[in-house]
Structure formats: C-alpha cells, structure tokens
Amino acid sequence: MAARSQWTPGPHAWHDDLAPLSAADWNYDRAAHLLAHAGFGGTPEEIQALADLGVDAAVERLVHYEGQPNPKLQPFVESGLWDSSLAEFPDSRPEATDRAEEHGASMGIAIKPAGNRALQPVSDRFFYWLRATMLETRRLGYWWANRMLATTHPLEEKMALLWHGHFATHENKVRDYRKMHQQIELFERYATGNLRDLTIEVARNPAMLYFLDAQFNVKGAPNENFAREVMELFTMGVGNYTETDVRECARAFTGWYFDDLEFKVDADKHDAAPKTFLGRSGDFDGVDVLEIIFEQPVTAEFLAGKIYRFLVRDELSPALRAKLGKVLRDADFEVKPLLTAIFRSKDFYGPASYGGHIKSPVEHLVAMMKHLGADSIPGVPDFNQSTIAMGQHLLNPPSVAGWAGDRAWITPNLLIARGNVARDVLIPDMTGFRDWNFSAGTDDVLGQRLRDGYDIGAATAVSDPASMSTFDRVALERDEKFNTRISGYIGWEQAARKLIPTPRDAARFDLSVMVAAGGATSAAEAVDYLLWRLLRVPAAGATRDALVKFLTNELGTDSLERAKSYMEDALRMTAHLVMSTPEYQLV
Amino acid sequence: MTTNERLRDTGLSRRELLQLGAGGLGLGLLGGVGPVPPVLAQASRAVAANPTGKILVVFEWFGGNDGLNTVVPYGDANYYRHRPTIGIKEADVIKIDAQFGWHKSMEGMKHLFDDGKVAIVHGVGYDQPSFSHFTSMSFWHTAAPNSGNEYGWVGRTAAALDSSGTRQNLIVNISDSQTLAVKAAKHVPLVFIDPTKFQRGLFAQERAVVDTLAAQTTPVGDVHRYVLEVTRSAAQASEVVRAAWDRYAATANADLRLLDLNKVVALIEADFPTQLYYVPLRGSLFDTHVNQAAPHDRQLQYCADAIEGFFRELRRIGRADDVVLYVHSEFGRRVPENTSLGTDHGTAQVNFVIGNAIKGGQYGKPPSLSDLVLGDNLESTTDFRRVYATLIEDWLGVDSKKVLGRPFESLGFVKA
C-alpha cells in the first residue's frame, strides 16, 4: 500500500502565532485539518484537491466561495401546512379559545353554534399548528443538514451553523418554521459577510423579534429582553455595559415589530426622545445603538473570539483574542479577512489546534456521511432524533445563549450516544425503525381508544383517577367547552395528513469497495485504512490491534480477497468501533 | 432477582448492612447465590460506599421564578398595587398565614408544608445582583457572586465529603450537559438524562474491542484527555444506571409525573452511593416576560406535583428520611408587572427546602414591598450562601467553610 500522510501538528513555537504558514509547511495532513475545521471534513479526494492547491489557494477557495457552482443544493419544499389564517397565531391555548369566545372564531375556525364541546375545533386548530410547525421544522433540519453535506461551500454552512447558535432562537417558542427558514437563509447569506450588517439584520428578523418579545417593546413600556441579550450574548459580553444602558437600549428598539415575515417600525410606538447609551447621547433608534455597540473595542474581540473558538479550539489566550479582534476591527467587521488570517496562520496548524476541537453533534453526523462517502443524510436513523440524542436539536437550541459547545458536548451519556448513532448509521435497524413523525407519542393511545368507540371523556381519562395529578383534575373540572388532550392528538393527525413524508432510506455507501480502492489487501490493512480515513487524532496502538483481531475473526481470514464477497458488515462494525473512539470525537 | 431482593434474602436490613460496612460483604453474600453479575456487584459495593445515607437533591428552576406569585404576599396591599392585573387574588391563594399563601397550583407543596416538611426561605439573593440569567446562575453555581470559582459549590461539597476523591458516582447530574454547579476537582460527576439511551449499543462480537476504546495513554492535549476520561467513566456508569432504571420502571407509579426526579428515585432505590444529585429543570419556562399567568400556573403545577410525587415514591421505597430536596432559581422577578402582563428579571427570590429532616416553617425576612431597590426590585435579606451553608453543615455534616470559603450563619431549618 502507498505511504499515507501522518499526523503533523506544528511545533510549539507556532502556538498563538498568526504569521502565515509557509508553502513548504503545507501537506495533505494540514489540508485535512483545514477541511475538518472550515467545513465538515471530506473524502481523501477532496482533501487531496485542497492539498494540491497550496495553502493560500486552498484557504482562498474555502473563504471566497461565491463564484463556485453549487449544483447539488436543493430549495426547501414546503408541505403546505400554513395558511394566512395562522398569521396572528395566539401565544397560548387559553388565548386561542378566549379569542374565539370573543369574536366567534379564531385562527379561521368558527365556534360550533350548539352541542357539546363547542370550542373543540378551535382548540384542535391551535394544536394543529403547534404540531404542524414542529413536524415541518424537523424537515427543515433535514434540508439544512443535506445542504451541509452537499454544498461546495462548506465554510458557508459551517458559519451559518455558528450564527444559528450565536443569534439563537428556537422553534419551540417561535412556533413558525417559516420564520426559522427565513432566518437560516439570512445566516447563509451573511455567513462570511459583514458582522455589523448581520447583527442589524438579526435585530430586524421576525424570528428574533418574536423570540425576544419585540412586539411588547413599546414607547413608555420598554421590554428589555432583546436589549439585554444583544449586548450580553450577541456583541460585547457581560460587564461592558450598565443596567441603565440596557434600559436605554430597549427604548431605542421600541416600535420595532414584524408583520408575518416582514420587519416593520411603528413610529407611534417608537420612543424618539433622546437617550444616553454607552456614554453617547442622541435620538437613537435600534440601528444607531447597534452602530455604537460596534464602535466598542470589546465587540470585535468578543466576536472574533467566538468565531475562533467555534472553528479552531476552545482554549484561547487573551493575547490571541486581542490580535484576532484587531483583525476583525481593521476590516470593519468583514469576516472573510479574519477567516483568512486564522486559516493561514501557523497557530491554526500548531499543536493546540490539532485535536483541540470537539465536533458538535450536527458536525459529527455530517462529517460521518462525508467520511463514508454517502451523498445524502439517511432517513434511518432519523437525523433529528440522532442529533437530539447526542445533545443538539437543530433549530431548537436550548436558550438564547445557544449551545454551550466544546466540552459540554461530551458527558458519559452523550458520548455513548455518539457511538450509538454511528452504529445506527452504519448498520441501520431497517425493520425495527418507526417514523416518529407519524406517532403522537403517548397520545397514540387516544387514537386507539377513539377508534375502539370510547367517547372523548373516557378516551382521555387515565386508568386510575385517584392517582391523577392535580393538574389533570383541575383540567377536567374546568374545561367543559373543549378537551385539550384530545386536541393534542387530533392536531397531530391533521398535520401528519398533509406532511410530506421524509424518505426512510439507509445511508448509501460501500466500505468493501472503499477499502479495496484504498489498496488494502489484509484485515490489518483494512483497519489501518479506516483509521487513517476516519480519524484525525491517531488511535492507541492497543485499539488498533484489537480492531485487527476483531476484523480477522469476523472475516475468518486475514485475506480481503478471500473475504470480499461477505466482508461489508464486518467492515461496518469496524467503522462503528472506530467512530466510538474518543479520538473520533475530535478534529 | 434484583439486588434489593437478594439483600432482603440475607435477612439483613439495609441499615444493618451499612453498619457492617465493607464492600466485600456484599460480594460474599451474593457469592452464595451463584456468580455475581458485574452490575449487581457494583451496586452492592455502592451500599457500603454511602456512609451516612444522607442525600441532597438540588432541583433548579432556571428562567427566574416569580417568587411573589409562588408564595403570594396577599396580606400586603403593596403587592396588589404593583400587580393590579397579574397579582394572584386573595380568593385564589391557599393561605399559609395572614400574610402569605401558596399559589393555587402549589397544592402539592401545600400538602408537604402541612405535614411540616417544607422550609420556605424568603428574600434569598446576594449583593449587587446580576439581571442576566446566565451570569446570575453562574454565581449561584459557583457560590461566588460577582466573582468566580473554577468549581461548583456541589463539586466542592463533594470534595468536603470525600477529600480523597475516590468515591465513585458521589455526584449525579440529571442533565443534557454538565451543570457548572457540579464541576469538581477530583470527582467525575455522572451526567445523564435518558437512562434508556445510556447504554452502549454493541453487537456481541464487538464487546471484545470496546474495552480498548479508551486505551490511549498519551493524549494529544487537554481536550483529548478529557474525552478519554469521560469514555472510561461512561463505561463504568452506564450499566449500573441502566439496571437501576429498568428495575425502577417496573415498580414506579406511572401516574405520577416526576419530571426528571424519577431518575433520582431510581438511583436511590438501587442504593447508589450518590449523596449529591443536581437536577436542572429543562427549558427556561420560568422566564415569564409576557402573558405570564397561564404558563406560570402550569409550570408551578408541574413542579409542585413532581416534588410531592417524588416524596411519595421515596416513602414507598422506604428512603424518605434520607433525602432533602432544595429548590432555587437564578433570581426572582421585578415587583411591578410589565405592560405585557408579565414580569422582567428581578433580584431576591423564595427558596424551598423539603424533607422529613426539615423543620417546616418560614425562614428569612420577607423583603419589603414598599421600599424597592435597583429599579423596582426586592432587596434581598438572606444571602443564598446561608442556605447552602445550612444544607452543607447541618444536613450533610461537613464544614461549610471548606466549601464557601468563609462562615455563613445557619438558618436552622434542619432538625437536630
């Protein structure tokens, strides 16, 4: 077999050194390191193509991607779950039914003029949309993950993923997949653009406006939710502003709201009186305030540090952070010069950056498909369930602070989940798989009871009323006009009838062909090939030896030629074990 | 046969086993009934490893719970002046005394309070409070307000309980990701959220390789070293957690909704050596800026029902005397309601400490509703580290100065 590239972290002298890597120090291994951090990893062919370009051109191709064709990207195809009657969706079920009682209808659904549970269709409609937007958001997650895999601009998607976790909103609260979709497109459009412009766009983005309660931020009654987070989490970090700045900032954003998918300003609700913010005074509006924030030296450092820690490694010295901040500030918050500086630097190829980054679950799953040579995200296992099990629910970060990242990705439970997801991808459980989009979970029993002829009261009662929670008891006593539990079930049914099904196919790849093409002829060579292709950080010798012994046993021979007709599953188990190593979690 | 059944077969009570001590004893007893499966052997060692049996469970309500609408000062006209719309009406509170009453959703807590098991601590906070969820919670996690500490207060309590750092699974954190409060210098907290997924899926023939996964002895850096450590710890912990969960699932009262406290019951029932459990509530559902009534009512109901159900389960398994549960948030909320029928981030909050070992009643001075500070906020009257110190010293029996750096006066809510 041909000699393969070796793990080549640079010398310690490169640590924190932003001087560019010399052409002589460029090699295949460093190209692999670059693609793993600036994207989601790649096949040996993709890595070799970057290696052949040399470091400057390789970084140029990744950072300045705009002109490169991207033929495999697909638009998001909507299931058709939304209609305009849902535009003013109520914040809660009580609001939904109260509105109906007041106006005779709510969300386009009229109250029944007579009969039991006159408000049931209204309640059903409320739950319909909750389920519909949740289910469509799952499809949106699939769509985005497939873009990450298929794109020829991996850095664009990687950075969009960063901004999604940085300017975090979640569909659980936004309750509108269309706004989430619109936001992801914004993050792609500004992925490596100007950060001041992106922040202004985020402040005008309907998902964010709703998420941080902009509609309640009005003249005379400012709501501080966005004002606080824009400074604490999005631009400067805590400790760089006062509580007065928060209140003044909130006043500047008063009157900003949205109408469905469009940003609007209500001049009557905007507080146009002078404000004093971060030591400046004037009749500031939201854009003015953001521009003042971007004049603060700390903002460039805060954002440059965030980018670096997302792409390179969590450990970041104050000195390097200051240098990176200067690069971003000197470029007037254009991100491409900073990215170029990072990816060309000796520091990026130094010992602390090699193996210093824990892949996020989404990165992990997309990289897995890249490593295996699959060209789409599989339907089995389910992408969302898999990444949720590993601790990252795309389009639903846990809070406005996004995901904690880095070491928070690895707990005993989450680490085991990573190995299990690898197994489910490599050896999918095709016969045991059930599509969770078509199960209402614990409410499935309601559907069965209704079909068995139970009335709604009986169908929704628990078996032993004596042990019902006080919440259930109160709910039963209070709600005569509708039954929310049945609505939860009916809403799911109605949404699922319209939902475009997710294809439930297994990932398509062939490890037998792959190891043969890699020149392996023995079990040991097959293991060595897989370790080389899948891992950045080298595995322990003892792990390698155990894998060789395992594969030899499974094949019943050391010869791949002898075993080639039946070796696929044994190779897949080998790959599962490789992907379960601590080393596979790092790049 | 389960471990507990095997232990019962010996005719010895759990207490007697504890007095006999020695991990070897469990092995000897079990040795009489055939080969000891590794899981059960570990569980029997666990019996010997928890010397006092005293357990602290922290149930964290992230988001900023509105204490004034939880323990309602219905007797103070200022409350209704500040909250004309979202104030809980006198007719809707479950009265405690002439001044305070439980929010109607807190019926589960009322039952426990009536049994004398709940300490209500008023006005809990710290000086110069942060209005940021994340900053304020990090102060609570580290017990270092307007400062910091590399380790959490629960992690440092573990060090005080076991300075050698040798006790396995002393801390359990029921969470997606590790909570800062449990970060410890020597102890590796067992962090998990879904026991059914906390098991390495392996085909039989793969088992021979799995022990070598973390074989690397020369990590390339600190991050690599960390992942190697977690890999080793996961291998040890997952089987015992899974076994405990399976056993508990077979006997649990399925109608109780315990939120994530059910996992704590499962591990306690399995005689886990854990003395410190940390259970953050998922989501930030207490962050009620807007139209707060319905979501807050519901959230309180879920939490109070879960706490009542938790103690019901502990009684069923005979361990209610061994457990104290502590509830806190990162801050309370602004006193006046906002124009969105909600409340903004505030300062002092109400805490609860619950258990058979607790002297029920009200502690701490209720903050004034007429003399507000820091922009319409409550002035805290009780430093939260006093609550911590009382739990550490009076309940867990270790020196709280070691954990908190200086003495804090006990609130005296633990029975002598």
Write out pLDDT tens, residues B352-361. 999 999 999 9
Instruction: List CB contacts (< 8 A) between A388 and chain B.
Output: none
Tell me A276's DSSP state.
Answer: E
Q: Say which range, A124-133, A350-359, B123-132, has the weakest mean pLDDT.
A: B123-132
Contact A401 B198 (CB under 8 A): no
Select from A356, A411, A539 the Cβ nearest to the Cβ of B178: A411
Residue A408 with chain B: CB contacts under 8 Å? 177-178
Residue B155, pLDDT above cutoff 90: yes
Q: How many CB pairs under 8 A join A and B?
A: 216
Residue A81, Cβ density class (10 Å: 0-12 exposed, 13-18 middle, ≥19 buried): buried
What are the pLDDT digits (tens) for A345-374? 999 999 999 999 999 999 999 999 999 999
Q: Which pLDDT value is given to residue A92?
A: 80
**B217 neighbourhood in chain A, CB within 8 Å:** 540
Q: Mean pLDDT, to the nearest integer, of A520-538?
A: 97
Taking residues A222-234, what's their average pLDDT? Answer: 92
Give A272's DSSP letter.
Answer: -
Please compute the mean of the pLDDT values over residues A551-560 and round it to a whole number.
Answer: 98
CA distances from A278 to A223, A294, B113, B135 (A): 19, 11, 48, 20
- Considering only the beta carbons, identify the residue of A216, A468, A586 that sits closest to B224: A586
Nearest-CB residue to A550 (from B209, B234, B237): B209
Q: Which residue of B has its CA nearest to A246?
A: B131
pLDDT above 60 for A185: yes
Does the beta-carbon distance from A315 to B222 stay under 8 Å?
A: yes
Range name among A61-75, A412-426, B64-78, B242-256 with the lowest pLDDT average: B242-256
Number of Cβ atoms within 10 Å of the Cβ of A481: 17
Q: What is the mean pLDDT of chain A?
A: 94
Strands B94-95 and B101-102: antiparallel
Low-confidence winner among A429-433, A581-585, B234-238 (lowest mean pLDDT)? B234-238
Q: Each residue of A307-346: pLDDT tens digit? A: 999 999 999 999 999 999 999 999 999 999 999 999 999 9
Nearest Cα of chain A lies from the Cα of B230 at a distance, in angstroms, of 6
Model pLDDT, residue B171: 96
Model confidence at B190: pLDDT above 50: yes
* Residues 312-341, chain A, touching B (beta carbon < 8 A): 313-315
Interval A129-136 mean pLDDT: 97
State the CB neighbour count (10 A cutoff) for residue B316. Answer: 14
- Sort out which chain B residues have CB atoms less than 8 A from A123's CB and list them: none
Interstrand relation of A280-282 and A275-277 (parallel, antiparallel or unpaired): antiparallel
Contacts (Cβ under 8 Å, ≥6 apart) of B401: B407
Task: Indicate if the pLDDT at residue B37 is higher than 90.
Answer: no
Distance from CA of A145 to the nearest CA of B (A): 22
Please, what CATH class does the domain formed by B51-404 belong to? alpha beta
Over residues A437-453, mean pLDDT: 88
Contacts of B301 in chain A (CB under 8 A): 469-471, 474
- How many Å lie between the alpha carbon of A150 and the closest alpha carbon of chain B? 29
Estimate to the nearest angstrom the gap between the alpha carbon of B63 and the chain centroid.
16
Q: Look at strands A105-106 and A109-110 and give their pairing.
A: antiparallel
Q: How far apart are the first and last CA of chain A?
A: 25
pLDDT of residue B148: 77
A141-150, A188-197, A274-283, A441-450: which range is least confident on average? A441-450
**Residue B12 has what pLDDT?**
38
Q: Where in chain B is the domain with CATH 3.40.720?
A: 51-404
A358 or B168, greater pLDDT: A358
Contact across the interface for A469 and B257, Cβ inside 8 Å? yes
Per-residue pLDDT tens over the stretch B330-339: 999 999 998 8
Say whether B27 sits in a helix, a strand or coil.
helix
User: What 8-state DSSP symbol labels residue A586?
Assistant: B
Chain B residues whose beta carbon lies within 8 Å of the beta carbon of residue A228:
131-132, 345
Across the range A458-462, mean pLDDT stands at 72
Q: Which residue of A has its CA nearest to B256?
A: A469
The number of residues making up chain B comes to: 416
More confident call, A467 vs B9: A467
Considering only CB atoms, A540 lies closest to which of B215, B256, B305, namely B215
ipTM for this prediction: 0.94
pLDDT band at B48 (very low <50, low <70, confident <90, very high): very low
Give the mean model confidence (pLDDT) for residues A461-485. 61
| Gap from A67 CA to chain B (nearest CA, Å) | 37
pLDDT band at B283 (very low <50, low <70, confident <90, very high): confident
CB nearest B135 (choices: A225, A238, A581): A238
pLDDT bracket for residue B415 (50, 70, 90) = very high
Residue B3 reports pLDDT greater than 60: no
Nearest CA among A143, A138, A168, A174 for reference residue A157: A143
Cα gap B257→A537, rounded to integer Å: 44
Q: What 3-state DSSP class applies to A281?
A: strand
State residue A469's pLDDT score: 60
pLDDT at residue number A471: 58
pLDDT for res A286: 97
Residue A48's pLDDT is what?
96
Averaged pLDDT for residues A417-421: 96
Whether the pLDDT of residue A238 is over 90: the answer is no
Burial class (CB in 10 A: 0-12, 13-18, 19+), B85: exposed
Q: How far apart are CA B200 and CA B197, in angstroms?
A: 8
pLDDT for A271 equals 97
Q: Is the pLDDT of residue B178 over 90?
A: no
Residues in B closer than 8 angstroms to A575, CB to CB, are: none
Contacts of A539 in chain B (CB under 8 A): 216
What confidence tens digit (pLDDT) does each residue in A375-388 have?
999 999 999 999 99
Which of A 69-98 lie inside 8 A of B, CB atoms?
91-95
Say yes or no to pLDDT of B44 above 50: no
Distances (CA, A) of A115 to A95, A111, A388, B233: 22, 10, 43, 60
- Give the separation between CA B83 and CA A316, rounded to whole angstroms: 47
Contact B193, B209 (CB under 8 A): no
- Mean pLDDT of all residues in A388-404: 90
Average pLDDT over residues B136-152: 89
Give the pLDDT confidence score for residue B233 in this predicted structure.
Answer: 85
Residue B35 has a pLDDT of 36
| Average confidence (pLDDT) over B143-171 | 91
Q: What is the mean pLDDT of residues A81-98?
A: 90
Q: Which residues in B lie closer than 8 A to residue A464 (C-beta atoms)?
A: 255
Q: Is the pLDDT confidence value at B24 over 80? A: no
Asked if A416 and B134 come within 8 Å (Cβ–Cβ), the reply is no
- Of all residues in chain A, the one with the smallest CA distance to B178 is A408
Query: pLDDT tier at B289 (50, 70, 90 boundaries)?
Result: confident
* Polymer length in residues for chain A: 587
Q: How far, in whole angstroms, is CA B126 from its chain's centroid?
A: 20
Task: Report pLDDT for B6.
Answer: 35
Q: Which of A172, A410, A573 sits opposite B203 (nearest CB)?
A: A573
- Bigger pLDDT: A352 or A225? A352
